[in-house]
């Protein structure tokens, strides 16, 4: 019974992954551009070049910022949906999170292109509220700013945050639902204030959910090459580097080595998450 | 939890929930407005005027129809493969404990835990190593891989809810394995499979990251949209296509919700 799916995933998927990993140990001849099928670590050393290292650091930083912001926005929604929403409202919250989760990724990115454009709605709101100077000030900040929102890291970060947010809400909610109510009552009976109950009892128990959600937001940000291409500056992210090297540059070994970076990071992350028991919350 | 729920949520919590929900939903709604704008050259807000003209223009576009047709075909077949393999996998994992069970459940999670670009480039380099030319089936190969995961997740939730004693009873009452499957197991998991299939359909219909690596010269609807996003040439048509994509994916998602809400509420009260 298992043979078929295992064959599919095992052969097609893992087989392809291994084929990719193998290629990262090959190298490319810098003059002829021909791939040399000999074992070498040269390609991995290339990752440590300042320009390539920058790409990795930039992507990991972005993934971290997006993940933290997602937790901040997701937690209140998940918390409210678990503790206060009942009956019809519960269904409402469920659909309100599921719809954006499953709706089209490209349409969501496209919507943000409309929103962040110079002639778009955000600029319009700032103008109507006579706050254009605030926006200009934000965009003048080095590194994260830019000519307009759609070519700045602020824009990239907003789109990432928007697209991955549901992936954070659902696991947190699943974890919160599993906090037994008698534990919370016990906390109150023992004289804890609501704030203490939240930070000492509820939040630690919801932690597996937060970790599970962060697996998604982190992994998805690490591998995405479309969002930074459409909304953002011309500086590359990991996914874009992989895409460029395998495509126009034809440097499959370096592309393979680049794609080992997210695999490695996610591997460490998953291992830590498993130890924290986060898999039960997915 | 009931006792504390009576006290109600604080204003700050309510405000952040409302803001979060608006953040989640307003952007997509904006698409519906832009589909009717008279502005052709920019993303001007507010739209200078509204028109139905672009619906008609998009209707007459051959390239859009072809892309839509290919996407529908890919999504249907990938979803069907996903249902078959996902159901088998879930049945095996939930029914028995065997050596390597953990490995297999990790194997199923892997395609969603690893970035899509890794899946995409891995498949592409495998195709080139094996000298498989790009075709309709290379797209299916990529899509079915994550469709399996989606169906598996839905099916395993239902299997957990279905009691093993039900199957034992069926066997005790003299049904053979096929009859048990046909009259006991299938009716129990059918809606979960249909829901999983619908979600897989929506996911595949919308997939672009893996598709760019496995499609070659073929254009699915998401690939068509991506080209427009990178180099906008016909903004009004893109606006209408975006709206159509929202509507096409909306129905299966809502349908899936109605079929699996009991699993979800069950999961939530556990």
Residue that has been written with the tokens 């080095």 in this structure? A142
Is the bond preceding residue B46 a cis peptide, omega within 30 degrees?
A: yes
Summarised one tens digit per residue, pLDDT across range B26-40 is 998 888 888 888 887
CA-nearest of A131, A213, A149, A139 to A176 is: A213
B265 pLDDT band, cuts 50/70/90, is: low
More confident call, B112 vs A115:
A115
Residue B53 belongs to a domain: no
> Per DSSP, what are the bridge partners of residue A28?
A35
- Model confidence at B4, in pLDDT bands (50, 70, 90)? very low
Lowest average pLDDT, out of A165-179, A191-205, B145-159, goes to B145-159
In the structure, how many helices (H) and strands (E) does chain A have? 15, 2
Q: Is the ipTM of this complex over 0.90?
A: no
Instruction: Identify the H or E element spanning A27.
Output: strand A27-28
| A270 vs B85: CA distance, rounded Å | 25
> What residues contact B34, with CB distance under 8 A and at least 6 apart?
A114, B43, B47, B239, B242
pLDDT at A165 over 90: yes
Res B3: pLDDT:
43
The whole-number pLDDT of residue B5 equals: 46
Query: For chain B, how many structural domains are there in total?
Result: 1
pLDDT tens for B192-242 read 888 889 888 988 988 888 898 888 888 899 999 998 888 888 888 888 999
- Domain assignment of residue B162, yes or no: yes
Measure the CA–CA gap between B144 and A91, rounded to whole angstroms: 30
Name the minimum distance, in Å, from the CA of B116 to any CA of chain A.
Answer: 6
Q: A98, B13: Cβ pair inside 8 Å? A: no
Give, in order, the Cα–Cα distances in Å from A229 to each of A169, A235, A236, B12.
26, 9, 8, 36
What pLDDT band is residue B269 in, cutting at 50, 70 and 90?
very low
Tens digits of residue pLDDT in A41-83: 888 888 888 989 999 999 999 999 999 999 999 999 999 998 8
Asked, for residue B206, whether it belongs to a domain, the answer is yes
- Partner residue facing A165 (CB), from B24, B203, B206: B24
Determine whether domain A51-281 maps to CATH 1.10.3720.10. Answer: yes
Q: Is residue B70 part of a domain?
A: yes
DSSP letter for each residue of A164-227: HHHHHHHHHHHHHHTS-HHHHHHHHHTT--HHHHIIIIIHHHHHHHHHHHHHHHHHHHHH--SH
- For the stretch B13-27, pLDDT in tens is 899 999 999 999 999
Say which CATH number the domain at B163 has.
1.10.3720.10
The pLDDT, as a whole number, for residue A63 is 94
Contact B119, A13 (CB under 8 A): yes
Q: Which domain holds residue B158?
A: 61-269
Q: What is the mean pLDDT of residues A220-245?
A: 88
Interface mutation vs chain A, best among B10, B17, B29, B127, most A CBs within 10 Å: B17
For residue range B84-105, list pLDDT tens digits in order. 988 888 887 777 777 777 777 7
Does the residue B2 lie in any domain? no
Residue ranges of A 162-191 with Cβ closer than 8 A to chain B: 162, 165-166, 173-174, 177-178, 181, 184-185, 188
Strand, helix or coil for residue B138: helix
> Residue A168: what pLDDT?
92
**Domain ranges (residues) in chain A:** 51-281
Residue B266 has pLDDT above 60, yes or no: no
Residues 176-205 on B with a CB inside 8 Å of A are 199, 202-203
């Amino acid at each position: 019974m298992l043979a078929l799916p295992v064959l599919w995933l095992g052969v097609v998927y893992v087989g392809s992954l291994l084929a990719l990993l193998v290629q990262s140990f090959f190298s490319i001849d810098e003059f002829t551009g021909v791939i040399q099928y000999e074992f070498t670590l040269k390609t991995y050393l290339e990752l440590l070049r300042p320009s390539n290292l920058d790409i990795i650091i930039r992507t990991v930083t972005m993934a971290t910022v997006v993940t933290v912001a997602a937790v901040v926005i997701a937690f209140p929604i998940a918390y409210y949906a678990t503790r206060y929403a009942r009956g019809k409202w519960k269904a409402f919250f469920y659909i309100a999170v599921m719809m954006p989760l499953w709706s089209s990724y490209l349409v969501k990115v496209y919507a943000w292109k409309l929103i962040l454009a110079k002639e778009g709605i955000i600029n319009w709101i700032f103008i109507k509220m006579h706050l254009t100077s605030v926006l200009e000030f934000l965009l003048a900040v080095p590194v994260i700013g830019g000519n307009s929102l759609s070519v700045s890291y602020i824009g990239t970060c907003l789109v990432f945050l928007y697209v991955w947010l549901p992936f954070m809400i659902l696991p947190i909610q699943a974890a919160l639902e599993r906090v037994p109510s008698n534990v919370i009552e016990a906390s109150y009976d023992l004289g804890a204030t609501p704030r203490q109950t939240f930070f000492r009892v509820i939040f630690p128990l919801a932690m597996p959910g937060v970790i599970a959600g962060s697996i998604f937001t982190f992994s998805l940000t690490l591998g995405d090459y479309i969002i930074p291409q459409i909304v953002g500056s011309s500086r590359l992210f990991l996914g874009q580097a992989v895409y460029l090297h395998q495509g126009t540059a034809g440097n499959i070994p370096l592309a393979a080595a680049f794609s080992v970076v997210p695999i490695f990071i996610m591997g460490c992350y998953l291992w830590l998450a498993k130890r924290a028991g986060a898999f039960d919350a997915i | 939890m009931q006792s504390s729920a009576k006290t109600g949520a604080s204003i700050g919590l309510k405000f952040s929930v409302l803001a979060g929900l608006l953040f989640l939903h307003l952007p997509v709604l904006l698409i519906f407005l832009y589909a009717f704008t008279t502005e052709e050259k920019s993303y001007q807000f507010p739209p200078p005027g509204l028109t139905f003209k672009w619906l008609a223009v998009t209707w007459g576009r051959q390239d859009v129809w072809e892309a839509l047709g290919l996407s529908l075909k890919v999504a249907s077949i990938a979803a069907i493969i996903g249902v078959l393999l996902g159901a088998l996998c879930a049945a095996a994992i939930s029914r028995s404990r065997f050596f390597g069970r953990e490995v297999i459940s990790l194997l199923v999670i892997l395609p969603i835990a690893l970035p899509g670009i890794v899946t995409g480039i891995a498949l592409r380099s495998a195709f080139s190593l094996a000298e498989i030319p790009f075709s309709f089936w290379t797209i299916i190969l990529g899509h079915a891989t994550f469709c399996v995961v989606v169906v598996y997740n839905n099916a395993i939730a239902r299997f957990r809810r279905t009691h093993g004693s039900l199957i034992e009873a069926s066997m005790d009452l003299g049904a053979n394995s096929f009859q048990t499957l046909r009259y006991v197991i299938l009716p129990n998991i059918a809606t979960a499979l249909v829901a999983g299939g619908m979600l897989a359909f929506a996911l595949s219909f919308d997939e672009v990251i893996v598709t760019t690596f496995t499609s070659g010269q073929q254009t699915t609807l998401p690939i068509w949209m991506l080209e427009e996003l990178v180099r906008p040439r016909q903004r009004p048509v893109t606006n209408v296509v975006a709206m159509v994509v929202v509507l096409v994916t909306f129905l299966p998602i809502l349908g899936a919700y109605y079929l699996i809400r009991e699993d979800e509420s069950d999961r939530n009260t556990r």
